[in-house]
Amino acid sequence: MMNPADFLAVEDQLGAHNYKPIDVVLSRGRGVWLWDVEGKQYLDCLSAYSAVNQGHCHPKILRAMTEQAGRLTLTSRAFRNDQLALFYEEIAALTGSHKVLPMNSGAEAVESAIKAVRKWGYEVKGVPENKAEIIVCHQNFHGRTLGVVGFSTDPEARGGFGPFAPGFKVVPFGDAKAFEAALTENTVAFLVEPIQGEAGVIIPPAGYFPRVRELCTAHNVTLILDEIQTGLGRTGKLLAEQHEGIEADVTLVGKALSGGFYPVSAVLSNSDVLGVLKPGQHGSTFGGNPLACAIARAALRVLVEEGMIENAAKMGARFKAGLESIRSNAVREVRGRGLMLAVELHPEAGGARRYCEALKGRGVLAKDTHSHSIRIAPPLVITEEEVDWVLEQFDAVLTGRDPCGS
């Protein structure tokens, strides 16, 4: 395979068409930078949907991975391994959780939390059999498995995949009154993203989460925060819940838990929810394997030791201020927290995709979301100079000096 067109042709012919990628064929990455097969360099403003918060091919995570891969990769949970307990200790200490359930993909962590919280509802809360209700939000994104798309409100995500599992109620995001009105005695959990990522980086109004927390406590409802995208430093705090001054009962992490090396996710619980799972009731062949644990331990360590979370707060503020100072008729709003940012364009601007194509022409890889927003989420190791350089490229593209990325 020689030139980019060959890769596209083969992918087109042999691959399922469930993605419409921006046409760049990447072959190498380091820190915030990516290189394509022809050697052209790009600054990554997506970080694989925040899975690469620590930067591409972080040398310390790489070392942990290769060392562990040469020693022991998988035992299954039929036996114990010498990495799992260390992973439990480190993630529990860092996040203040009491119980940890290791899984692989983010969607699996979501599914696992749903199973656990339903069982908790029956065994601890006393909900009648098969009556458990879980409240979720309009425009939620929690992954792509059948259980999860069943309570999506995106016609693209759910259309044609039914029938779906019952037991979910949808309320508007950011509206505590609507949440309160949806509560019943059979409500076992509220599953929600602290900031809605795929919906376009939607930040709820101040006071929403504190009120939700109060209501969950008052009604004995488990608050499950899906921090798979917002967590692990992305928003300038270890967990986005810290911006709200609340603590979830169950926190879901994934993506950057491996720094992008390997799928690793976890359900973290500081209540008795995970305690209901007994041997044989849930599992995963790969969940908690020694390779995943060694990678996750290194990924968490560098996040803290190298000051990436503080850097995300600082660089995020600089990036947001820079975006806000761009005078462009195309821009409707700049949103975000830390390095989880989005530029929403006016509908007349012609869609975010063509701006992303133009940015690609100028060496910046960003992704459109919900057709009118450009999502910006570079690795947390980005420097001031790099932020300023990316801002120049955004300025050029958004002010129409170079709308087509000539």
Ligand X SMILES: *Cc1c(COP(=O)(O)O)cnc(C)c1O
Q: How far is CA 387 from the centre of its chain?
A: 22
x/- letters, 377..406, toward ligand X (CB under 6 A): ------------------------------
Question: Of the candidates 44, 111, 133, 226, which one interacts with ligand X according to CB under 6 A?
Answer: 226
**What single DSSP character describes residue 135?**
E
Q: Are the C-beta atoms of 259 and 52 separated by less than 8 Å?
A: yes
**What single DSSP character describes residue 199?**
T
Question: Of the candidates 29, 31, 102, 143, which one interacts with ligand X according to CB under 6 A?
Answer: 143
| Matching residue, tokens 């500081």 | 270
**What single DSSP character describes residue 276?**
G
C-alpha span between 82 and 217 (Å, rounded): 37
By CB under 6 A, which span of 111-119, 223-231, 349-357, 361-369 interacts with ligand X? Answer: 223-231
Cα dihedral value 252, 255, 259, 262, nearest 10: 110
x/- letters, 157..186, toward ligand X (CB under 6 A): ------------------------------
Q: Catalytic one among 44, 99, 190, 226?
A: 226
Where in 96-125 is the site for ligand X (CB under 6 A)? 105-107, 110
Angle of CA points 338, 238, 307, to nearest 5°: 80
140 vs 393 by CB, closer to ligand X = 140
Q: Are the C-beta atoms of 225 and 192 separated by less than 8 Å?
A: yes
265 vs 393 by CB, closer to ligand X = 265
Minimum CB separation from ligand X for residue 35, in Å?
Answer: 25
Q: Is 288 in the site for ligand X (CB under 6 A)?
A: no
Minimum CB separation from ligand X for residue 113, in Å?
Answer: 11
254 vs 288 by CB, closer to ligand X = 254
Work out whether strand 340-345 and strand 331-337 pair parallel, antiparallel, or are unpaired. Answer: antiparallel
Q: Is 229 in the site for ligand X (CB under 6 A)?
A: yes
Question: Of the candidates 197, 288, 290, 338, which one interacts with ligand X according to CB under 6 A?
Answer: 197
Q: Catalytic one among 255, 320, 360, 367?
A: 255
Count the Cβ atoms, other than its own, within 10 Å of residue 62. 14
Where in 245-264 is the site for ligand X (CB under 6 A)? 254-255
How many Cα atoms sit within 13 Å of 12 on the Cβ side?
7
Minimum CB separation from ligand X for residue 4, in Å?
Answer: 26
Which residues have C-beta within 8 Å of that of residue 138, sequence separation ≥ 6? 153, 170, 171, 172, 173
Question: Of the candidates 120, 141, 168, 286, which one interacts with ligand X according to CB under 6 A?
Answer: 141
Minimum CB separation from ligand X for residue 152, in Å?
Answer: 11
Question: Contacts with ligand X: how many residues (CB under 6 A)?
Answer: 15
Which residues have C-beta within 8 Å of that of residue 284, sequence separation ≥ 6? 77, 102, 103, 104, 108
Q: Are the C-beta atoms of 361 and 395 separated by less than 8 Å?
A: no
19 vs 79 by CB, closer to ligand X = 19
C-alpha span between 390 and 395 (Å, rounded): 9
Work out whether strand 99-103 and strand 265-269 pair parallel, antiparallel, or are unpaired. Answer: antiparallel
65 vs 377 by CB, closer to ligand X = 377
CA distance readout (Å), 342 to 153, 322, 397: 21, 12, 15
Minimum CB separation from ligand X for residue 400, in Å?
Answer: 32
Minimum CB separation from ligand X for residue 141, in Å?
Answer: 5
Q: Is 193 in the site for ligand X (CB under 6 A)?
A: yes
| Matching residue, tokens 């967590």 | 231
226 labelled catalytic: yes
Q: Is 367 in the site for ligand X (CB under 6 A)?
A: no
Work out whether strand 41-44 and strand 364-365 pair parallel, antiparallel, or are unpaired. Answer: parallel
Minimum CB separation from ligand X for residue 109, in Å?
Answer: 8
In the bound state, the residue with its beta carbon closest to ligand X is 106
143 vs 287 by CB, closer to ligand X = 143
319 labelled catalytic: no
Question: Of the candidates 45, 47, 49, 102, which one interacts with ligand X according to CB under 6 A?
Answer: 49
368 labelled catalytic: no
What's the per-residue H, E or C state across 314-332? HHHHHHHHHHHCCCCCCEE
Q: How far is CA 28 from the centre of its chain?
A: 23
Per CB under 6 A, residues contacting ligand X are 49, 105-107, 110, 141-143, 193, 197, 226, 228-229, 254-255
**Which positions are catalytic?**
141, 226, 255
